[in-house]
Structure 1
Amino acid sequence: MIDPLVLLAFVPAALALNLTLGADMMFCLGQGLRHGPRAAIAASAGIAAGGLAHGLVAGLGLGALVSGMPWLFDVIRWVGVAYLLWLAVQALRSGPVRGAGHDVPAGTHHAFRDAFVVNLTNPKIVLFMLAFVPQFVDPARAVLPQFLVFAGVLSLGGFFVNGAVGIFAGGIGRTVARSERFSKVLGWISAGVFAALAARLAVMERA
């Protein structure tokens, strides 16, 4: 389905992208600080699932629709901005972290869902899929399976990199969350991360 040499060339390029500081990594960082390592891993999994969905969309050719319709890009973008701001408000309203920084299963579920939605509402990822992945796609073969494989490689690498960042942040969060004062500070930090991501998405340009 994919030439092994092409896949071999794609892996280091994908890893370099995974290691680049971006919105996904910052989101996992915020989740780790606020809710602990398990939530950070769940958020990383949600982002990975979103990456696979973007690969499917781009492989089906729907990404070209977003690329050619500026208003659709803006609609998706502003939905993402609104959702991130809602997460920021929730981080402020949630108060101190319960259980001295130890996250609970419900928190991991919400982390996965929020990360998935945030990733899906970033139209830049679809355009990135259309700009980067096609360089490795062989048009003589089935295009959709190739997009899914390359998206899977990107998502898998991102899962481990973003998860590691979140786990590290979660360790810090558990240490300081024993203090109610620091726990409140973590809430403000998480809200700041979400607000910064919303601002970044709001000023984003298509090109």
Structure 2
Amino acid sequence: MTLAFLITSLIVVATPGTGALYTVATGLAHGTRASVFASVGCTVGIVPAMLAAVTGLAAIMHSSAIAFQTVKWLGVAYLLYLAWITWRDRSELIASATESERPSTWRITWTAVAVNVLNPKLTLFFVAFLPQFIDPARPPVAQMLSLSAVFMAMTFVVFAGYGAFAAAVRTHVIRRPRVVTWMRRTFAATYVALAARMAVTAR
């Protein structure tokens, strides 16, 4: 494992994307604990891409336009769905809300899983990026698994940090209803923008 891999992975993870956006939105809406579950879900959502890369399925997806387009458009549709429910959300952010008033941890986690599973670029990242750091003289599968584990650990730590920061400023946000409204509209617009960027990506 090289320093170049660690630095490059950190840059990739820290660059805001759909997973980071969902974690931040969850932290703002429901607090630190919820954002941690969102981080867990985003991390677990990497597993299918990792397994695809290890088993060679990612190479098939990379060469198959139909497979890539199918996953891509499912991802676009899901991002637009998140934008729609975020835009329509009129509930108040209440710091003292009871557990029954919050989304279940399973719902938060599995939504986060879906956000990353339906991102075809993540699979292509594994098939195009990780092999560059594989030593041909050593067993490739073990190396892929160890590098993927490090990448997943980075994802959880960085996303949890994003969520904790969002939760920390939450008390300042919930006192301003207009800020809450524009915050949700901004998140919804960002989901749409990410969907549009994914839609126009050929590969």
**Band the TM-score falls in, shorter-chain normalisation:** 0.7 to 0.9
Residues 1:25 and 2:15 aligned together: no
Partner in structure 1 of residue 174 of structure 2: 177
Judged with a 3 Å threshold, the aligned counterparts in structure 2 of structure 1 residues 205 and 37 are, in CA distance, closer, same or farther, namely: farther
Partner in structure 2 of residue 79 of structure 1: 74
Which secondary structure does the structure 2 equivalent of 1:178 belong to? coil
Shift of 1:76: 0.3
In the alignment, which of 64, 68, 76 is matched to residue 69 of structure 1?
Answer: 64
Residues 1:156 and 2:153 aligned together: yes
Asked if the contact 1:33–1:170 (Cα under 8 Å) also holds between the matched residues in 2, the reply is yes
Partner in structure 1 of residue 196 of structure 2: 199
Aligned mates of 1:139, 1:92 — CA distance in 2: 49
Structure 1 residues not aligned, in runs of 5+? 1-5
Report the TM-score, using the length of structure 1 for normalisation.
Answer: 0.84
The runs of at least 4 consecutive aligned structure 1 residues that moved more than 4 Å come to 101-105
In the alignment, which of 128, 133, 137 is matched to residue 134 of structure 2?
Answer: 137
Aligned length: 201
Judged with a 3 Å threshold, the aligned counterparts in structure 2 of structure 1 residues 107 and 184 are, in CA distance, closer, same or farther, namely: farther
Residues 1:55 and 2:67 aligned together: no
Judged with a 3 Å threshold, the aligned counterparts in structure 2 of structure 1 residues 98 and 22 are, in CA distance, closer, same or farther, namely: closer
Shift of 1:101: 7.7
Judged with a 3 Å threshold, the aligned counterparts in structure 2 of structure 1 residues 28 and 121 are, in CA distance, closer, same or farther, namely: same
Shift of 1:189: 2.7
Aligned mates of 1:169, 1:156 — CA distance in 2: 20
Judged with a 3 Å threshold, the aligned counterparts in structure 2 of structure 1 residues 198 and 38 are, in CA distance, closer, same or farther, namely: farther
Shift of 1:107: 4.5
Aligned mates of 1:103, 1:171 — CA distance in 2: 19
Aligned mates of 1:107, 1:127 — CA distance in 2: 32
Shift of 1:55: 1.1
Aligned mates of 1:199, 1:71 — CA distance in 2: 19
Judged with a 3 Å threshold, the aligned counterparts in structure 2 of structure 1 residues 46 and 173 are, in CA distance, closer, same or farther, namely: same
Percent same amino acid among aligned pairs? 35
Asked if the contact 1:96–1:187 (Cα under 8 Å) also holds between the matched residues in 2, the reply is no
Shift of 1:68: 0.7
Structure 2 residues not aligned, in runs of 5+? none
Aligned mates of 1:185, 1:103 — CA distance in 2: 25
Partner in structure 2 of residue 90 of structure 1: 85
Which secondary structure does the structure 2 equivalent of 1:145 belong to? helix
**Equivalent AA in structure 2 for residue 125 of structure 1:** L
Partner in structure 2 of residue 109 of structure 1: 106
Asked if the contact 2:18–2:115 (Cα under 8 Å) also holds between the matched residues in 1, the reply is no
Partner in structure 1 of residue 37 of structure 2: 42
Shift of 1:170: 2.2
Aligned mates of 1:155, 1:31 — CA distance in 2: 20
Question: Mean Cα displacement is larger for which, 9-18 or 167-176?
Answer: 9-18
